[in-house]
Chain A
């Protein structure tokens, strides 16, 4: 059995990395994810974790260092926030293309401008189509568990893909929560050593990342596509085994809260889901038929599970905590992807986008009340008069 501690999302992730016995870590400071690296640096300095701790000269270097390390068979970890995430953009595709299952933690932060430290999912969502697995946790406990879970899933020989383990900056990264830190024996049972069959080893020389002739392009991209798609099965399996070993269970893809007989629901990812749940619970006490569906895995997008979860409502409000300018539906990526998942059901479920919490602002209880009120109206009238609302200006 593990021990319970009150720790932040950053410290929780660092504990996950330590338990995973990571070999190479590459850091560069940027708020708010920096807390993960400070804690790891302390663990290395105190002899709690045996790893090469490398000070990258920037996020681009961070991703490049772990690319090289993972290609030698080392378990590697890095992380970033905000513009740091986008600065490293060049290196994400080579990492997934070479099928290197390293992990990057992202504690969300706005891109510049606005030049602030606040949380927004915009940074991590920019990376969503780079061939990585990607998921969001909403509590420090989940952040620790996702660290272990992603290594296990990403390193599975059927998958071999890198992973973004995302958490909201500050709302998760810097707020203390009660976390059960598993013991090493449990982790050993859950997470086998990293073995990749194509690594740099002079005893079995290989050429990794050669240029190709055009005819090799489609099948190589199709390989990566199949790996991401195929990860769904492994994600389910790993979650089941995780529950068995650690005694904590998560719905692998979508978590439903008070959705039985609900007519309207908020569809959301990350920490703001916790606020939405509070409001939904209060509305339930008042007799309103409302619920919350929280997306846990963004890549591979759980199309079937989202369709199944959302198709039972009359109205769904999709919350985007990211800035998207000029996007279809004038809202955000969460809305466009949810609508794609629902498209074949026709007009049965009315969807509307809510953009909120930008620049790191809270999405307040009051705002969620207004969103639920709008959904109630849509459910009653059976129609929407617009695609999306930017809060607080338009709703």
Chain B
């Protein structure tokens, strides 16, 4: 059985394992400053260039701060993608730092990192908008570690279980970031078990290295452009 593949924005993954499977849930692990956010943002940027609908969920930055990062990669196109609803943000951070929760059509703000139902409802609305435009979809969740900071592990695993089911059903190719070293081994293993693939990113002597394992493909540490 062959799966539909999606380009990842990282040439070496596309060449070696043919990209990610469409609708796969991939856990992105790696030490701080290892460059995993860059890999993730390239994945979203590539999707936008290819015409996909992309949803970025941020727990450590406001939607505006995150959008600046995409402007750095995509230039003024980032604004265009946002205004036409191909790029959307779910901001779980603004409330945490006490900013007003001003909403725009493609920027949703969640009352707190503990209000996971509100996250689901915002996501549902964005997925519906993108599905109506018949877009293929990508999602970035940065990061699961913040959720674990504010919620018991059981809450987070229940949330992810239900969320992953929805994303798979709608074939949303998704990256979930986790600060591996901040959590107990059992936590990481449990979340890993719920995903379809694990992407590891680290930095050595100024070079970025990645490793990818999934149910169907495997790639050992290689240098990434």
Say whether A and B bind each other.
no
